[in-house]
A and B are shown apart, each in its own frame.
Chain A
Amino acid sequence: MTEYEIRELCHRFFDAYQDGRVDVLREILSDDCIIWHNVFGRETTRDENLAAYPDSYKGQRRRTYNDRVINAFDDGFVIQYSLNGVMKTGHKGALWICIVGKCIDGKITRIDEYMDSSKFAAWMGAQ
């Protein structure tokens, strides 16, 4: 894949996540895609991740993936971004996250996600 194709794939992935397009996510992620989170220290499959998608939106009016800084390498990308959320209470929060993605033949085959879970409560607007 060219650098352009990898960067475009990365943007498509985050656009789809932002827009709630699970059908596009299923197309972009390879069948055997693995997602690992530094918060849990464990891997999940594509289908487990997509099944959890609706629950991950509970209490949120919207969230946007902003300030995207993407660097591409031979077989993947690293993206640094701000996750801006607006809760149903009107509270606004931001998380700063980094994801490393591996890509083969136009699909993402692995995602490693790094964030600070100590910020979750403040992000959601907990007192």
Chain B
Amino acid sequence: MTVAQMTTTDSVHRKLCHDLLDAIEQGDLAAVERCYAPGMTMWNNLSATTSTRDENLAALARGYEIQRRRMYNNRIIDTFDDGFVARYTCHVVLHDGSTVALSSCLVATVRNGEITHLADYMDSSKFRRRK
């Protein structure tokens, strides 16, 4: 007898959130793209502007050029009907060995298993406090 695996909106959204952060962490832009809906948009509190999916993917690619690695640690995820909020510490190591830790918050709107909108909140003053 097989038992059907039970999924809930909560578990589906949590998995999507982890899939996205894991993919960004691993530099797997194809996997990042799979998390995004075709018309996905992203807003951030630094520039208060909205970018497209392609602009977001291009920005991620540029980031990898100047970073040795980045990790999304201390993830705390809460889900709601049509999205999730992820709080995490983004630990970045640059090519010169300096490190920076950003405590950030990402709010996602999800439809049909894909992210349609992201809103990213962080403190840019921490960029200047590299160790």
Contact = CB atoms under 8 A, between A and B. Distances in A.
Interface of B is mostly: strand
Interface of A is mostly: strand
Interface in B78-112: 78-80, 82-83, 85, 87, 103-105, 107
A115 B48 contact: no
Given A73-B78, A78-B107, A112-B87, A98 B119 contact: yes
Contact of B123 (A73, A78, A80, A115): A115
Contacts, number: 69
A100 B45 CA distance: 16
A38 B125 contact: no
B80 A116 contact: no
Interface size class of A (residues with CB under 8 A): 10 to 19
B48 A114 contact: no
B124 interface: yes
Contacts of A89: none
Given A73-B80, A97-B45, A114 B104 contact: yes
Interface in A32-50: 38-39, 41
Interface string B113-131: 0000001011111000000
B87 A118 contact: no
A114 B103 CA distance: 8
A116 B123 contact: yes
B78 A98 contact: no
A71 interface: yes
Interface string A86-119: 0000000000111010000000000010111110
B1 interface: no
Nearest to A75: B78
Interface of A: 38-39, 41, 71-73, 76, 78, 80, 96-98, 100, 112, 114-118
18 contacts: A38-B121, A38-B122, A38-B123, A78-B80, A78-B105, A78-B107, A96-B45, A98-B85, A98-B105, A98-B107, A112-B87, A114-B105, A114-B122, A115-B123, A116-B45, A116-B121, A118-B123, A118-B124
